[in-house]
Structure formats: C-alpha cells, structure tokens
Amino acid sequence: NEAASPYGVVNALVTNDLNGRGVFTANINGESFSGEATRRAGSSRDGVANGAGNRGGFLNCQYSMNSATMGTGTCRMSNGATFTMHVGQ
C-alpha cells in the first residue's frame, strides 16, 4: 500500500524456541520493534507476531507456515503501512 512503499523491503527475525513461540524483532525506518511470535492455539501452522517499537509504534503480523521453515503472511504497522511477509531461511 502507499503507506508502506517508502520503506522498501523490510526484514524481521523470529528466533524459534521450538515450543510454539519465539522472539520477534524488526527494524523499520530506524524504529526497532521487538516482541513475541506464537502459534495459534490448536494450530501447528498459523500464528501471530507482535512487536512494540522504541518510538511508540507497534507492528502486528499474521502468518501461516507451509512447512517447518517456509510460510507467508502480512504485517501492519500502527501508522497503517501493510507489508507482505515471506517466512524462510
């Protein structure tokens, strides 16, 4: 969307603890976001990742894994910017 286009490609990192959750971090336009990624209850594929920014923003992501290491989803920043997410190694 128009709100996301000035940012270009954004990279995020999820460190998986192998128990259905992990640590989520991203850096967008100089704002550092950190939070948690978890799988939805009862699902081995679908999950959410939320991060709070050091400048007061927040990031909310929804994703679905196609395999143990590959998936897709979307992320929305508090300013309305929406990004397509590609999960992979």
pLDDT at 14 over 70: yes
Residue with tokens 């190694």: 89
Each residue of 17-54: pLDDT tens digit? 777 678 888 889 999 999 998 988 888 889 899 999 99
Q: Among the ranges 1-10, 37-46, 54-63, 66-75, which has the highest mean pLDDT value?
A: 54-63
Does the pTM surpass 0.85? The reply is no
Which tokens is 46 given?
């679908």
Q: 26-47 burial string, b = 16+ CB within 10 Å, else e?
A: bebeebebbbebebeeeeeeeb
pLDDT at 89 over 70: no
Mean pLDDT (the chain, rounded): 88
